[in-house]
Chains A and B, each alone.
Chain A
Amino acid sequence: MRALCWNGVNDLRVETVPDPGIVNPHDVILRVTSSTTCGSDLHFIDGYIPTMRAGDVIGHEFMGEVVETGPEVRNIKKGDRVVVPSFICCGQCWFCQHDLWSLCDNTNPNAELQEPLLGGTTAGIYGYTHAFGGYAGAHAQYVRVPYGDIDCFKVPDGLRDEQVLFLSDAAPTGYMGADFCVTPGATVAVWGCGGVGLMAQRSAYLLGAERVIAIDRFPERLAAAREHCGSETIDYSSVDSVLDTLKEMTGGRGPDACIDAVGMEAHGTSLMAKYDVVKQALRLQTDRGEALREAIMAIRKGGTLSILGVYGVMDKFPIGVIMNKGLTVKTAQQHGQKYMSRLLDHARKGELDASFLATHTFSLEDAPRGYDMFKNKQDGILRAVFRPN
């Protein structure tokens, strides 16, 4: 089959690789109908997350049609159209049983690579480094899905691929971020208007927020936040201070809740942001944490901070501010299996239509160009969608 492979820093190529097959009894093989780029892919494409190997098939946000099932698969059958959360979960361990799906204990075959770095392990992910499992990704014609009964969700009739595809990762991540911190009537500030940030904004309203303020610098993304999510917006590159602007907008209190949907490659205008750029370029740290620090400073006393951005081992993390302001911090990789039924229901009712993220569509053969445009934010791209078949 054809698949998009990572061959080194900023070196993506479409190659012919072996087809996947049923290996374990709960496996399912999907013919991928749609897959999409994710901002978190850029971190390992840029070389900031270790344990990639040349030839790895990438891509973790996808949907497709079931073409083969293992002997122990009961609820999913050949021909089903399904969407799959990006984290692979067994459904049986203590963590899955307690709705902490991305912490699944049984799906990372390379746990020994991750444990020394994290002091624990996450679930495996498709196409996202060997420390996170080493599984082949979904920018391919076919993909093997372990634990098909647990991780494949049937798509209700009447929904197009574009309406469902982002329920694989961007939507549940954003929804979880809002679920962590939104209380009825709250004012919520969201850093980042990429796929996850936009989904967090829309989800915040669905969960009862009265007001959502989005922070970014790209006009087309800020426009999407206004038009598709109903957010107020701040272009951080055109104001003197995001903190002062937020104070002004909230009567001097600050937002009740803040969501960081940016992660380790944040841009900023402060001296600290410049310092981060230099230090990261010299490989003296893994993260540029400007957005996260700003969120911690902006949030009102006693508020809740929700971290969705991907980080390594960050320095200059203002824990003293968190302590003195009495903040609550909640964070996780996405627990997609917890939210999927709810999200499909929102999509079916038209309450959450993520199809506006699919601004650009490419064939699989053209995927390297799609990633290049996505990385450089060309032509107003929000997400590049691939059609592998």
Chain B
Amino acid sequence: MFVFRGYTEVIHMNGSTVNRFASAAVGTSAILLGLRQVGRTRVLSVAAGTGLLAYGALAKPPHRQPVSLEPLAITRVITVGKPRDELFRMWRDPQVMSDLFGDVLQVSREGEGRIRLHMSLPGRREITWTSRLVEQGQGSSLLWRTDPGAAVPHEMFIRFRDAHPAEWGTEVTLGISPLSNDRVTKALVRLTDSVDEAMLTKVLRRFKSLVETGEMPTLSHNPAGRHRAIAAA
């Protein structure tokens, strides 16, 4: 299993709608006016106008919130010896998800495309939230996003890719990404990333065992001398 922290940064030409229209209008005017000029003034006006027109036409619209913040994503990847379609189908079953997350997280269906997640925290505290399936690439990826009001707004995603050579099966990447990059969120991610990585690792390993063998390795009811001491306490 490999660890991959998504620190890739993508530079976009971002701009507001007003800026883009204004740039396009000014650019067009500059080109038209420039074409009436001669010599150096004509070249400069047409060049500046072309630049402004290009910005107006090509700049990406601003992101709609919420949006996943890949630089803060925590991902783990594992290779599973089964075909991609089979794995994709299994991950759509909330019961399978609940089995995989085990005692960390209970997952149940909450209507079409929506799941309810329940987590017990130390000190008998509990949190519950719902997430909605917002993207699915047929046989290749699934992405759930928390509904408004979640204590920790985030996305969870899983991606499937054919392994090479094919006898290895499918490479499966599981990740979580917060929906904010403010200081508090960054600090929280740094504080919990090792726990999150361990949980993702465990979930992926359980998934691999389940699909390859029909069961997950477990230590439940594992005999040990300490059980008696614990019971006495």
Among A88-96, A199-207, A270-278, the one that faces the other chain is: A88-96
Are A135 and B215 in contact, CB atoms less than 8 angstroms apart? Answer: no
Task: Give CA–CA (A56, B201) in the complex, Å.
Answer: 25
Instruction: Write 8 A-B pairs (CB below 8 A) sorted by A numbering.
Output: A16-B228, A53-B224, A90-B209, A94-B81, A105-B205, A105-B212, A136-B223, A144-B222
Are B223 and A94 in contact, CB atoms less than 8 angstroms apart? Answer: no
Chain A: CB-nearest residue to B168: A94
User: Which B residues, 167 to 216, have Cβ-Cβ distances below 8 Å to chain A?
Assistant: 167-169, 198, 201-202, 205, 208-209, 212-216
Name A18's contact: one of B81, B212, B227 (CB within 8 Å). Answer: B227
Are A20 and B221 in contact, CB atoms less than 8 angstroms apart? Answer: yes
Task: Give CA–CA (A37, B222) in the complex, Å.
Answer: 21
A17-B225, A55-B227, A92-B212 given; A23·B218 CB < 8 A? yes
Contacts of B151 in A (CB 8 A): none
B89 in the interface, Cβ–Cβ < 8 Å? no
Are A112 and B198 in contact, CB atoms less than 8 angstroms apart? Answer: yes
Contacts of B219 in A (CB 8 A): 109-110, 134-135
Chain A: CB-nearest residue to B227: A18
Interface residues on B, range: 20 to 34
Are A3 and B222 in contact, CB atoms less than 8 angstroms apart? Answer: no
Chain A: CB-nearest residue to B217: A109
Are A7 and B222 in contact, CB atoms less than 8 angstroms apart? Answer: no
A226 in the interface, Cβ–Cβ < 8 Å? no
Name B226's contact: one of A24, A55, A108, A135 (CB within 8 Å). Answer: A55
A55-B227, A106-B213 given; A134·B218 CB < 8 A? no
Are B225 and A5 in contact, CB atoms less than 8 angstroms apart? Answer: yes
- Most chain A beta carbons < 10 A, residue from B168, B222, B229: B222
Q: What is the interface of chain A mostly: helix, strand, loop, or mixed?
A: loop
B134 in the interface, Cβ–Cβ < 8 Å? no
A104 CB to nearest B CB, Å: 10
B203 CB to nearest A CB, Å: 11
Are A54 and B226 in contact, CB atoms less than 8 angstroms apart? Answer: yes
Q: Which residues of B contact A (CB under 8 A)?
A: 1, 79, 81, 167-169, 198, 201-202, 205, 208-209, 212-229
Task: Give CA–CA (A94, B212) in the complex, Å.
Answer: 10
- Besides A105-B212, A106-B205, 11 new A-B residue pairs in contact (Cβ under 8 A), listed by A number: A17-B223, A18-B223, A19-B223, A25-B214, A54-B226, A55-B225, A72-B214, A93-B212, A106-B212, A115-B1, A115-B201
A95 CB to nearest B CB, Å: 10
Name B221's contact: one of A3, A21, A109 (CB within 8 Å). Answer: A21
Are A134 and B222 in contact, CB atoms less than 8 angstroms apart? Answer: yes
Contacts of B226 in A (CB 8 A): 53-55
A45 CB to nearest B CB, Å: 15
Contacts of A140 in B (CB 8 A): 223
Contacts of A20 in B (CB 8 A): 221-223
Interface flags, A282-315, vs B, CB<8A=1, else 0? 0000000000000000000000000000000000
A43 CB to nearest B CB, Å: 20
A338 in the interface, Cβ–Cβ < 8 Å? no
A263 CB to nearest B CB, Å: 26
A107 in the interface, Cβ–Cβ < 8 Å? yes
Task: Give CA–CA (A15, B229) in the complex, Å.
Answer: 11
A211 in the interface, Cβ–Cβ < 8 Å? no
User: Which A residues, 80 to 126, have Cβ-Cβ distances below 8 Å to chain B?
Assistant: 90-94, 105-112, 115, 124
A17-B228, A112-B202 given; A146·B217 CB < 8 A? yes
Are B202 and A147 in contact, CB atoms less than 8 angstroms apart? Answer: no
Interface flags, A122-156, vs B, CB<8A=1, else 0? 00100000000111100010001011000000000
A57 in the interface, Cβ–Cβ < 8 Å? yes
Are A92 and B81 in contact, CB atoms less than 8 angstroms apart? Answer: yes
Are B221 and A7 in contact, CB atoms less than 8 angstroms apart? Answer: no
Name B217's contact: one of A7, A21, A124 (CB within 8 Å). Answer: A124
Contacts of A93 in B (CB 8 A): 81, 208, 212-213
A13 in the interface, Cβ–Cβ < 8 Å? yes
A20-B221, A112-B202 given; A147·B213 CB < 8 A? yes
Of all A-B residue pairs in the complex, the 3 with the closest CB atoms, nearest first, are A55-B226, A55-B225, A5-B225
Are B218 and A24 in contact, CB atoms less than 8 angstroms apart? Answer: yes
Contacts of A109 in B (CB 8 A): 216-219
Name B209's contact: one of A7, A106, A136 (CB within 8 Å). Answer: A106
Chain B: CB-nearest residue to A115: B1
Contacts of B202 in A (CB 8 A): 111-112
Contacts of A23 in B (CB 8 A): 218, 220-221
Contacts of A135 in B (CB 8 A): 219, 222
A26 in the interface, Cβ–Cβ < 8 Å? yes
Chain A: CB-nearest residue to B210: A106
Are A136 and B224 in contact, CB atoms less than 8 angstroms apart? Answer: yes
Are B214 and A3 in contact, CB atoms less than 8 angstroms apart? Answer: no
Are B221 and A24 in contact, CB atoms less than 8 angstroms apart? Answer: no
Task: Give CA–CA (A105, B205) in the complex, Å.
Answer: 8
Are B208 and A106 in contact, CB atoms less than 8 angstroms apart? Answer: yes
A1 in the interface, Cβ–Cβ < 8 Å? yes
Contacts of A57 in B (CB 8 A): 223-225
A233 CB to nearest B CB, Å: 41
Are B81 and A5 in contact, CB atoms less than 8 angstroms apart? Answer: no
Contacts of A133 in B (CB 8 A): 217
Chain B: CB-nearest residue to A15: B225
Chain A: CB-nearest residue to B79: A94
Task: Give CA–CA (A20, B222) in the complex, Å.
Answer: 6
